[in-house]
Structure 1
Amino acid sequence: MKIIFFLAVIGLCSAGLRDRASRKIGVALSHLHLGSSQYQYIAGTEFNSMTAEWQMKWDPIGNDPNTPNFAWAEELMSFAARHNQSVRGHTFIWHSAVPTWVQALENNAPALQAAISSFITSTATHFRGRCYEWDVVNEVIEGDGSYRNTIFYRTLGTTYIADAFRLARAADPYAKLFINDYNIEGVNAKSNALYNLVVSLLAQGVPIDGVGFQGHFIVGQLPTDFAANMQRFANLGLDVSITELDIRMNLPPTAANLQQQAVDYANAFRACYQVARCTGVTVWGVTDLYSWVPDFFPGQGAALLFDEQYATKPAYYSVESVLN
């Protein structure tokens, strides 16, 4: 009994990942799950940075054009404050979080410009000084390197991207401003197009400070040039960050896939730590129980560091070894 008690105490007193990390180690949280003590405990003890999974996007905040809803986001901000966590703001402009009333403004450029200006200014002002980074625009490039065909692009062309950064900087001069995307982790048509976009924005004097590499991977498919690719963006004088890391596999998990996932997580963290200007890594969720992956990729999941019972997976210990 004494041995069991001793081991339990050691487990409770052992340092979390946040205590081992020399850079930001973040997690995406939802206010919907804060009622779980396990969810809160792991989120608060393992991570030193928080990203709102949904609650700081345009649709949840600006669904009513006359009354912004900051309540859900503020629940998460309060959680972060209680646990001494920094906050990544996420995200002002994203094609999948456009309120219905904004969608109706297609082909009305002045009205859409005014709506963008109002949302970014009011939201960035509300959170001013409380976010160390903001994803200003999200997923603006297609896989083939073309611009994503969204309401913003169809109505405003590419000018909305630079405008969004200028609006964000004016409203919150303290936050680092990022462009964020997925499938840009290796050198390919999409990452090359994003690189060219960033070079163009910098040439225009647009206040862009960083590039976010989402990191939604499949087991065994991390690009081998991940660190080198981040470095070329850093060479432009920008910060980089891994912003939404998860590594999915076919379900049910096998021992082999869990071990490969552990290798992949370790390599993702190493890629960040190999780049001096990588500010940190954010994992896109606490537990497989609430991961977005199975809903969007049927038959796949088990993408996070903690399983559906909140038990640590091999990937947790591989990340721990990198941080050590």
Structure 2
Amino acid sequence: MLRNLGVALLLSQLALAAPTEERGSIVGLDLFASIRGRYVGVATESYNINNSTTWGKAYKNLALGSDFSIWTPENSLKWEVTEPQPGVFDFSLGDALFKLAKQNGKRMRGHTLAWHSQLPPWVTANNYTAAELKNILQRHVLTEVGHFKGQVTHWDVVNEVFEEDGTFRNSIWYKTFGPDYIEWSFRWARQADPSAKLYINDYNFESISPKTTAAYNLVKSLKAKGVPIDGVGVQAHLIVGQVPKDFEAALARFASLGVDVALTELDIRLDLPVTSKNLAQQAKDYKAAVDACLGVKRCVGITVWQVTDALSWVPSTFPGQGAPLLYDEKLKPKPAYDAFQNALLLDQWI
């Protein structure tokens, strides 16, 4: 403990002494997180990292640097990419990112297997009997997880299965099988890779609500049946000024079931244009999110959903909002970066 404390104090001095624009590359967030027993990860893709422009090279330095120790493929493991035609699998994009990860000492999260969105049209065309569709889902889970066996730390096995009122989302999977597909998917994933930690993943899991109560009850029932579920992924797509006050309590409630929790897709969007005021609030909100994870022993880590505002999904989905990440469009660290770092520093809580 004393040794770790000394390391933390030294790193904090180095970080605070470095010019702001260099902090991300000199002393990264993940170094501080590891002292706290957590990781910091990021969503990215091989084509982001291999961008040969000057901007792209700066992005690569950040993605490969010490801010992040674990990567999540933003899109390249989703069904529409990996199985565009029935039984025809294409893992080339995922393989490219996994290769970069291995070369650079990064771990990988797998995202995602059974989801209602980003499915190829052939899956949702309603041309299959229930038995045929079950075989299709089984084949997909076994093949994809099997392809990356031994290379994935966590898999988001089922994604976004609940509505806000706590009812099951009326996806093709639920309409056809009811909730049974959830159990099947976890069992198939464990069969294909016994070493990977298996997660349920969803948004608006950051507060105690009908949705999180339903998820709590589902996880409890799955565990009671011996289903191999290891964690709850809390996406944490948040809005500036609206971070829930019971964030930590929501995480702790899931963890009380004997599973890990993780913030899996953290970003905190703000109303545009960017101002010093909303950046300051965003920084406070990032610190609150990190503090919530640090407050729960079984919160194992935090993944931000892309490196830079320039590549965020937010502006195209929420017009008038954006700038949700730690680095701005020019790849400069924002006040949120410093707040994230300060939340992790060991000397903030001793």
Which residue of 42, 62, 71 maps to 2:62? 42
Indicate yes or no: 2:250 matched with 1:238.
no
Which residue of 18, 24, 30 maps to 2:45? 30
Equivalent pair of 1:106/1:151 in contact (CA under 8 Å): no
- How far residue 125 of structure 1 moved from its aligned partner, in angstroms, is 0.6
- Superposition pairs of residues 90-239 of structure 1, within 5 angstroms: 90-105=111-126, 108-239=129-260
Identity among equivalent positions (%) equals 47
Q: Distance in 1 between matches of 2:147 and 2:156?
A: 16
Residue in 2 aligned with 1:3? none
Q: Distance in 2 between matches of 1:235 and 1:128?
A: 29
Farther-moved stretch of structure 1 (281-290 vs 198-207): 198-207
Farther-moved stretch of structure 1 (100-109 vs 10-19): 10-19
- How far residue 275 of structure 1 moved from its aligned partner, in angstroms, is 0.8
Equivalent pair of 1:134/1:177 in contact (CA under 8 Å): yes
In the alignment, structure 2 segments of 5+ residues that lack a partner are: 1-16, 346-350
Q: Distance in 2 between matches of 1:216 and 1:7?
A: 30
Q: Distance in 2 between matches of 1:14 and 1:286?
A: 16
- How far residue 102 of structure 1 moved from its aligned partner, in angstroms, is 1.2
SS of alignment partner, residue 93 of structure 1: strand
Farther-moved stretch of structure 1 (98-107 vs 60-69): 98-107
Equivalent pair of 1:245/1:283 in contact (CA under 8 Å): yes
In the alignment, structure 1 segments of 5+ residues that lack a partner are: 1-5
Equivalent pair of 1:27/1:47 in contact (CA under 8 Å): yes
Indicate yes or no: 2:64 matched with 1:65.
no
Q: Distance in 2 between matches of 1:311 and 1:44?
A: 16
Residue in 1 aligned with 2:14? none
- How far residue 124 of structure 1 moved from its aligned partner, in angstroms, is 0.6
Equivalent pair of 2:46/2:100 in contact (CA under 8 Å): no
Q: Distance in 1 between matches of 2:126 and 2:135?
A: 10
Residue in 1 aligned with 2:28? 16
CA 1:70/1:106 → structure 2, altered by over 3 Å: closer, same or farther? same
Residue in 1 aligned with 2:77? 56
Aligned-residue CA RMSD (Å) = 1.6
Deviations 1:39-69 (A, max 9, x none): 2111111211100001011110000223311
Q: Distance in 2 between matches of 1:224 and 1:272?
A: 13
Q: Distance in 1 between matches of 2:194 and 2:138?
A: 16
**TM-score normalised by structure 1 residue count:** 0.95
- How far residue 232 of structure 1 moved from its aligned partner, in angstroms, is 1.3
- How far residue 71 of structure 1 moved from its aligned partner, in angstroms, is 0.6
Q: Distance in 1 between matches of 2:308 and 2:137?
A: 34
- How far residue 38 of structure 1 moved from its aligned partner, in angstroms, is 1.5
Which residue of 62, 66, 87 maps to 2:108? 87
Equivalent pair of 2:186/2:198 in contact (CA under 8 Å): yes
Q: Distance in 2 between matches of 1:273 and 1:315?
A: 17
Equivalent pair of 2:306/2:312 in contact (CA under 8 Å): yes
Equivalent pair of 1:107/1:154 in contact (CA under 8 Å): no
Equivalent pair of 1:106/1:112 in contact (CA under 8 Å): no
Equivalent pair of 1:27/1:286 in contact (CA under 8 Å): yes
SS of alignment partner, residue 244 of structure 1: strand
Residue in 1 aligned with 2:8? none
SS of alignment partner, residue 206 of structure 2: coil
SS of alignment partner, residue 38 of structure 1: helix
SS of alignment partner, residue 122 of structure 2: helix
CA 1:104/1:252 → structure 2, altered by over 3 Å: closer, same or farther? same
- How far residue 7 of structure 1 moved from its aligned partner, in angstroms, is 7.1
SS of alignment partner, residue 266 of structure 2: strand
Equivalent pair of 1:29/1:51 in contact (CA under 8 Å): yes
SS of alignment partner, residue 205 of structure 2: coil
**TM-score normalised by structure 2 residue count:** 0.88
Deviations 1:205-249 (A, max 9, x none): 111011000000000111111111111111111000000000000
